[in-house]
Amino acid sequence: MNPADQPTPNTENPSVHIQAVTAEQILDSRGFPTVEVGLTLDDGTTHAASAPAGASTGAFEAVELRDGGTAHSGRGVLHAVAGIIDEIQPALIDQSWSSLSDVDHAMRALDGTPNLARLGANAVVAVSIATARAFAAQSEQPLHRWIASLTGSAELMPVPHFNVLNGGAHASNDLDFQEFMIAPVGASSEAEAVQTGAEIYHALAARIRAEYGTTGLGDEGGFAPALSNPEAALDLLMAAITDAGYTPGLQDVAIAIDPAANGFYDGAGQYRLNGQTITREQLATYYTTLLANYPLRSIEDGFAEDDHEGWKLLFTQAGDHTQLVGDDLFVTDAARITDGAIQGYANAALIKPNQIGTVTDTLAAIAAARQNRMAGMVSHRSGETGDTFIADLVVGTGVGQIKSGAPARGERVAKYNRLTHIEATTSGLAYGLGTDRQGKRS
């Protein structure tokens, strides 16, 4: 074993003493403002973090604070920045914190709303992530290992789900489904999975260039050609996987989709798909046809966040063999995940720290999924920064799956590169989906 893999953790439960909190408005990957923070500790070290931002956000998510007005089309975060400096900083400095959850609870109490609307989840999540980094540094462990110790999890290198074709709210084509992902389930390591994803991405680019003349991109770095229906997208993916020399299949390179059905829900159990209005029953049948025809291992937000009947329908039809992931449905909320398990809506939960607002609550959501024998998938947002926290989060909690967009564009590959770096510098980390799942098709 490499000696670098064996940190000598400071076992005296090191506390964190915050001396100053700085905050700035920066730009995210879409060119909209977001929050970056820096914590300076009394030992002189600084720990930074920044907040991502969604476009197809769920109604039950923690709320971002945006300035309104004309600057940046109303999307400025100067009030969120001021709240960090004027309110969060005085509440956190000049005392010793013995746990991240104490810091997170203090920020929640200071905010005083159920969804962090006053100080802004964009402000709070950035401070929370920077604080997690401060605790990891104080305990002299890499962030992923500190998370594993904190949560009592076995570390695991996750199967990346590369979003290579974009539609819905993330692209300007006519594709109703938002994300088409490839998952190198059969790879033997993170490095091999990343190579597989990148090679297929380039094969896909070549095909799209030949067939459509241009390779426009969606928000998550996937291509956004003028595809008009999901089957056309899936056929293109199958061909690209083969072109790159891989085998499409549930045990090899599997496919996952995020229809993000809020985006084409008409209400009252009706969906507007491929130019037609269909019922939730027809949509469920449509998914089961796709499952029969493609190596589709996972469907995320197949129904709208409040169409519980639709969720139950597909869960009954496909939940024993297909991963059905709640994103807008669960919004990384432990209580909503537990309720979803009881009701039989889904067998997996998407995990986005900024959707619930603190790292502590994110870890609670992962624990709730695990207790309910649900799988988890850690996720970026469509608006991202170079922050790589989610890579350490997925390894440290052993969740086994991550999605961070295409294997291209700096803000997306920052996470994949962090994963391969963790793998390369830590011995003994297995790669795979893990054992949490009950609804498995692979």
Catalytic residues: 220, 352
Closer of 360 and 379 to ligand PGA (Cβ): 379
Closer of 203 and 337 to Zn ion (Cβ): 337
Tokens of residue 177, six digits = 């489904």
Q: To the nearest whole angstrom, how small is the minimum distance from the Cβ of residue 396 to ligand PGA?
A: 21
All residues at 6 or more sequence positions from 104 whose CB lies less than 8 Å from its CB, including other chains:
124, 128, 131, 358, 359, 360, 361
All residues at 6 or more sequence positions from 266 whose CB lies less than 8 Å from its CB, including other chains:
272, 277
Work out the widest C-alpha separation in the chain, in whole angstroms.
63
220 binds Zn ion (CB under 5 A): no
Q: To the nearest whole angstrom, how small is the minimum distance from the Cβ of residue 212 to ligand PGA?
A: 24
Residue 381's binding partner out of ligand PGA, Zn ion, none, with CB under 5 to 8 Å set by partner kind? ligand PGA
Rounded to whole angstroms, how far apart are CA atoms 23 and 81?
A: 5
260 binds ligand PGA (CB under 6 A): yes
Question: Using the rule CB under 6 A, which residue among 47, 381, 412, 415 binds ligand PGA?
Answer: 381
- Only one of the segments 10-18, 106-114, 379-387, 407-415 lies at the binding site for ligand PGA (rule: CB under 6 A); that segment is 379-387
Q: To the nearest whole angstrom, how small is the minimum distance from the Cβ of residue 361 to ligand PGA?
A: 17
Strands 375-379 and 401-403: parallel
- Only one of the segments 26-34, 48-56, 243-251, 394-402 lies at the binding site for ligand PGA (rule: CB under 6 A); that segment is 48-56
Q: To the nearest whole angstrom, how small is the minimum distance from the Cβ of residue 11 to ligand PGA?
A: 39
Closer of 64 and 258 to Zn ion (Cβ): 258
Tokens of residue 100, six digits = 């991240």
Residue least distant from ligand PGA (Cβ) = 54
Residue least distant from Zn ion (Cβ) = 327
Q: To the nearest whole angstrom, how small is the minimum distance from the Cβ of residue 258 to ligand PGA?
A: 5
Tokens of residue 279, six digits = 């019922």
x-or-dash string of contact with ligand PGA, 308-337, rule CB under 6 A:
-------------------x----------
423 binds Zn ion (CB under 5 A): no
Q: To the nearest whole angstrom, how small is the minimum distance from the Cβ of residue 260 to ligand PGA?
A: 5
Rounded to whole angstroms, how far apart are CA atoms 411 and 47?
A: 19
**Interactions with Zn ion, residue window 287-326 (CB under 5 A):** 300-301
Residue pair 380/404 in contact (Cβ under 8 Å)? The answer is yes
x-or-dash string of contact with ligand PGA, 271-310, rule CB under 6 A:
----------------------------------------
Of the candidates 209, 126, 127, 196, which has an alpha carbon nearest to the alpha carbon of residue 161? 196
**Interactions with Zn ion, residue window 253-292 (CB under 5 A):** 258, 260
Question: Using the rule CB under 6 A, which residue among 56, 122, 153, 385 binds ligand PGA?
Answer: 56
Residue 128's binding partner out of Zn ion, ligand PGA, none, with CB under 5 to 8 Å set by partner kind? none
382 binds ligand PGA (CB under 6 A): yes
Of the candidates 46, 201, 60, 216, which has an alpha carbon nearest to the alpha carbon of residue 133? 46
Please report, as ranges, the residues that interact with ligand PGA according to CB under 6 A: 54-57, 258, 260, 327, 379, 381-382
